[in-house]
Amino acid sequence: MKREPIKVPLRTKPWGVTGVIRFLRTARRNLVEMIPETATIHPMLSSETMRRWHMVMDPQALKRILKDNVENYPKAEVAVNIMRTAIGESIFVAHGQYWLWQRRTAAPIFSYRNVANLAPIMTEATARTVEKIARIPDDEPFNILDPMIEVTFEIISDVTLSNDDSLSREQMHRALDSFIKRTGRVSLLDALGAPFWIPRPSRLFSARDLTNVQKIVDRAIEKRRAIGPNPNPDLTDLFLAGEDPVTKRRMTTEELRNNLLTFVVAGHETSALTLAWAIYLCSIDPEVQEKAAEEARAVLNGRTAVVDDVAKMPYVRCIIEETLRLYPPFALLIRSAKEDDTLIGREVRKGDPLILPIYALHRNRLLWEDPDSFKPERFQDRKSIARFSYLPFGDGPRICIGAEFALQEMVIVLGTLLSRFRFDPVEGKEPKPVMLLTLRPQGGVWVRARKR
């Protein structure tokens, strides 16, 4: 029987006289719970109490922030500083000309041809995951997030640094997972606006493992420089060969490492979460699951999906896109105004923070019909969806450079799994969406997988 998907309880009351304490408690528990319910019924919210801020859900205003006047709205320093610890001044963090030359260098690396050439790694990792799940008894509940993390991390580590035994997958995953869990929680020092050079105790513990991983990646890059590219180039080879077409500048070892780790951090975490949420949604909607399974079985006929199958499974892709709408990995973005501006008739002053609540945008009743329901069909006519009303990968010049890689990977994995197994929910084990750096299912996504 179909169920309504779980959702985050958005804020319905003002912060009140104990605002700072309640704000901090809420932020540490779940950043998305800070979003007011009214963000799902209004195009823009503004406040002048304590500190001016704006929350933007209007597509035209978002277009101005992310595309038309993007230079006026850099990422807020608090968000940038958190990520800078792990990935330095990479494409994800950098601004201005330093960002631009890196983006120009990286763009050809993520061309359709290069992404398609990486698909065999996705297929092989998916096949191993099918074997692991097939060994689980039909009636035994398990957390599907665990194998999704494993498969996406296998893929991301193999396409990033293939054939390198010096880098332990387990070591890298442990360090990055610790970083995400510890740094994603807002501290009192963050809430008070303290300078980032003042240490946050909760983040000190993840620094040592992270530093070790950075050193290992640096050595692996230098080794690749010395011995030359693999017969089948991976991302390290492509970055080493890449250069900015305007300045002819090439990345140093540190710059290359920062961008590889950006791809690892952003790539495997977001894909794993989306796949787990997608399987959860399919498990509570048998009709959608069967429709996708029929499509996948007709295309795959018992084998693991390859790159040429991706375009032949459009409904599976619709499930992925609808999952990204309901549970966007980056559910909350923050920008800061460099100069005065106007958004849909509202004054924005220099220094004002702008909150882009992607979670609320994707459930805004002015933009979506029946927004809290799981309806993959809404993505069958992609042109019917206003461009800046759907932002799982951002948009404008800073749109996620790995978006097509992620979609290709997720369709290969999900299509294969749905063709082999029927996933059923486990009573009393409903996941709770909680945002640290990304929107994670607290407690996991528990299912039973029955072989088809």
Binding-site members are 400
Q: Which residue in 423, 28, 403 sits closest to 191, CA to CA?
A: 28
Given a contact cutoff of 8 angstroms between Cβ atoms, the answer to whether 417 and 447 are in contact is no
Task: Give the span between the Cα atoms of 310 and 306, in whole angstroms.
Answer: 7
Residues in binding site for heme: 400
What dihedral angle (degrees, nearest 10) is formed by the CA atoms of 255, 398, 161, 152? 150
Task: Give the span between the Cα atoms of 303 and 296, in whole angstroms.
Answer: 10
Q: Which residue in 401, 100, 395 sits closest to 262, CA to CA?
A: 401
- Pull the structure tokens for residue 154: 């296998």
Provide the β-strand partners of residue 354: 54, 335
The beta-carbon contacts of 40-43 under 8 Å, at least 24 apart in sequence, are 40/10, 40/360, 40/363, 40/364, 40/365, 40/371, 41/364, 41/365, 41/366, 42/366, 43/344, 43/364, 43/366
Place of tokens 């006289």: 17
Task: Pick left, alpha or beta for residue 409 (phi over 0 → left; psi -120 to 50 → alpha; otherwise beta).
Answer: alpha
- Pull the structure tokens for residue 394: 């951002």
Task: Give the span between the Cα atoms of 104 and 343, in whole angstroms.
Answer: 29
Q: Which residue in 440, 436, 359 sits closest to 145, CA to CA?
A: 440
Containing 451, the helix (H) or strand (E) segment is: strand 446-451
Q: How far is CA 395 from CA 63, 64, 71, 389, 398, in A?
A: 8, 11, 14, 10, 6
